[in-house]
Amino acid sequence: MVAGFIAAQRADFQVPHATGCRALGVSQAWFYKWQHGDPSPAHARREQLKVAIGRLFAAHRGTYGSPRITADLRDEGWAVSENTVAALMRELGLAARRKRRRKQSTRQGRGRWRAPDLIGRKFAASTVNRKWYGDGTEIPTDQGKLYLDSVLDMGSRRIVGFALGEHHDADLATSALQMAVAVRGGKETIAEVIMHTDQGSEYTARDFRDACGRCGITQSMGRVGSALDNAVIESWHSTVEFELRQLEHFTTKAAARRRVPTWIEEYNHDRRHSALGMRSPIAFELALQAGDQDHEEESAA
């Protein structure tokens, strides 16, 4: 804007460039570099970096901030700092869209049975198949609502199970759980899993409790009315609601049924997490498997 003003003063009022530069406290060399372009390699690299940032920002549909964009750039071979990326994003007017806080929609179970809280807000898991988190949300369409129940493995932030249906009930929650068990290879591999949820009626229902029992899964529940007790899966569903409710529009339930599973797979394979070293859930699990194999080979040797 300053350089443009100096140029306009010369064009409109014959004010010399040197005079305008002195008056505004900028160097003439800086002004002429702006006027004629900067041919330096550093300037060319900066412009190429801007193009790459804009491309990645668009590819992630405006949901990635500077940390994730930086990780993408480094994967592409750029040697760049997060501060530089943040500055260029500000210069380009690119800012990741902020998610809105979820509205509490839990329907409390009417029976007396409740599982104890075995998590106590100690959400972290040292490996996969130790702590799973479950919750549900709505997917609106022009034909009415669909409901999505999800199961997240805290060890890798991977969505290991999900189910879409017309009703938010125990059947839907059980279907998501059964998918998670199948994805993880059956009940023999998940003997130590704790399944943490809120006290919604779908999780206190006999059908869901029986399904957990058959698989050797131990249920855990947060306190009534405390979203923080289930913050991990609440955060996941806030991402779902932001990206699938605000950034996309489903005219039919069939369109939602096609898109939601694809979106979850993209999340599992592509979404970077700072807690995973800026890797996606699948990439993190592959790294864990590779580490286990290396350990077995060393032990055998």
Per domain, the residue ranges of the chain are: 2-92, 131-291
Q: How far apart are CA 267 and CA 237, in angstroms?
A: 12
Share of the chain above pLDDT 70, in %: 86
Range among 4-13, 96-105, 117-126 with highest mean pLDDT value: 117-126
Confidence of residue 301 (pLDDT cuts 50, 70, 90): very low
Locus of tokens 């800086």: 30
- Beta bridge partner(s), residue 164: 148
Mean pLDDT of 180-186: 95
What does the pLDDT read at residue 12?
Answer: 75
pLDDT at 273 over 70: yes
pLDDT band at 145 (very low <50, low <70, confident <90, very high): very high
Report pLDDT for 40.
Answer: 66
**Bigger pLDDT: 295 or 77?**
77
What is the spatial distance between Cα 172 and Cα 88, in angstroms, rounded to a whole number?
Answer: 45
207 — pLDDT class (breaks 50, 70, 90): very high
Give bridge partners of residue 220 from the DSSP assignment.
Answer: 196
**Beta-carbon contacts of residue 184 (< 8 Å; ≥ 6 apart):** 128, 129, 153, 160, 190
Q: How crowded is residue 207: how many other Cβ atoms within 10 Å of its Cβ?
A: 12
The residue that leads in pLDDT, 49 or 299, is 49
Does residue 113 have a pLDDT over 80? yes
Provide the pLDDT confidence category of residue 53 given band limits of 50, 70 and 90.
confident
Kindly tell me if the per-residue pLDDT of 199 is higher than 50: yes
What confidence score (pLDDT) does residue 227 get? 61
Rounded Cα–Cα distance for residues 253 and 25 (Å): 61
Q: How many residues does the chain have?
A: 301
Domain 131-291: CATH superfamily, name plus number: Ribonuclease H-like superfamily/Ribonuclease H (3.30.420.10)
